[in-house]
Structure 1
Amino acid sequence: MTADARFWDRIAPKYANAPIRDLDAYRYTLERTRSYLKDSDRVLELGCGTGSTAIALAASAAEITATDLSEGMLKVGQERAWNAAASNVEFRCCGVLDAPEGPFDAVMAFNLLHLLPDLEAALASIAAKLPAGGLFISKTPCLGEAQGSWKYWMYSIAISLMRLAGKAPGHVDFLDIRTLEAAVQRAGFEIIETGNYPVDTPGRYLVARRR
């Protein structure tokens, strides 16, 4: 088990009970994502956490494979899927690079890309799971947009202190929007929609089509 898996396992109960910070932004993200899914689609979600998003979108796809490297998170997700009668959501324990091969009609990654130590490798792996025309749908906190401000300094200090206290994962990348979108395009995608939900941070929502 990796250090990150142990971290997420440890905080799974607290994470599961924590309220969504910006419920309006989350609901709008779900709404935009639903608009791209078809009831015949096979969907892969990477870094699904406790499964809330996969379960919320279950009725919009034929099947969703929800993956995470934390067994603790997935256990919560399985219980939630059972309670919600979301029988078309399957949970698997794995990281991004060893996720199921597919092919899938869509791959989703919400609040994940900034936590990956090798973004380029992750995006290449995602692209390999999609046929031409397949969709990559993500939302990523772009902490790097605050660079040079007091907010950026506060983020840097807070995350460093949280990591020392065991309250933050081992890697957090301060991505900016330009860097993120350039990496997605280099991986073989055409970006077809973007937005910031929420605007503050920002949480960069991105839909890209495999070329």
Structure 2
Amino acid sequence: MYTSVEFWDRVAASYATRGVMDGAAYETTLERTRHHLYHLSPSARVLELGCGTGATALRLCDAVTGYVASDASSGMMEQARARKAQADAPNLSLMHAGLGDDALGQAGPFDVVLAFNLLHLLPDLRAGLGQVRALLKPGGMFISKTICPKGASMPLLYRGAFLVFPLLQRWGKLPPGFRKLAVAELDAEIIRAGFEIIETGNYPARPPSHFVVAQRGA
């Protein structure tokens, strides 16, 4: 079986050509994120973890003074650099680093950390949330969106896909380490890590892709 980084390196080029599966849910996520970014101080700095091909970073980076988009996959970073080269985004920096890498800590602390479609892939969710907290200034915001299929109502197609998920992972068709989270479980872990949740939503609702805005305590 591929490691997580090997998987994303292998699929990076094809991933960059895919469209968004649920455009309405994606746009809602961007709108709610931008709402919070626009209320930051002019000097605020944002870190996006697991930025992939950089598509979301390019949609959001104009809302802040400094935006760092990071990913552990060199293949994804290559795609992100290609996208940035075709865009007008002077305040966007790209960093080849994964959560827990020293480079991220040295670049921080940040006013906001973003993690979209990442938390369910972390090998240790609790440790990962602790690392996110350490990257933030006191009072900083953590904004994430995470698929939470555990115990949730979902279309028949999704239920069938989750049944064969282990086989698809074994064959290298899906990323390893996928964690089936429940919405309440994820919220509880974020609170346990020292955050106060200030906004949630599910975009889409079935299966829930859980959007959370949380603030780091002192």
- Coarse TM-score class (shorter-chain normalised): over 0.9
Q: Calculate the TM-score normalised by the size of structure 2.
A: 0.91
Counterpart of 2:52 in structure 1 is 49
Q: Deviations over 1:31-82 (max 9, x none)?
A: 1101111342200100100011111001101111111111111111111112
2:37 matches 1:40: no
Preserved CA contact (<8 Å) 1:25 1:197: yes
1:146, distance to aligned residue in structure 2 (A): 2.8
Paired positions, count: 210
Corresponding position of 1:186: 192
**1:148-163 aligned within 5 A:** 154-163=160-169
- The residue number in structure 1 matching 2:123 is 117
**Superposed displacement of residue 24, structure 1:** 0.9
> Could you say which residue in structure 1 is the equivalent of 2:71?
68
Greater Cα shift, 43-52 or 149-158: 149-158
Q: Which residue of 2 aligns with 1:196?
A: 202
Q: What is the alpha-carbon root mean square deviation over aligned residues?
A: 1.8
Contact residue 143 and residue 202 of structure 1 kept, 8 A: yes
Consecutive unaligned residues of structure 1, counting only runs of 5 or more, are none
Give the letter for the 2:20 counterpart.
I
- Which stretch of the first structure deviates more once superposed, 144-153 or 125-134? 144-153
SS at match of 1:36: helix
Which 5+ residue runs of structure 2 have no aligned equivalent?
Answer: none
Identity level (%): 46
1:100 matched to 2:104? The reply is: yes
Structure 1 counterpart of 2:5: 5
In the TM superposition, what is the alpha-carbon distance from 1:150 to its structure 2 partner? Answer: 6.6
Report which stretch shifted further, 118-127 or 155-164.
155-164
Segments ≥4 residues shifted beyond 4 Å: 147-153
Separation in 1 of the partners of 2:164 and 2:114? Answer: 28
**Distance of 1:203 and 1:169 partners within structure 2:** 17
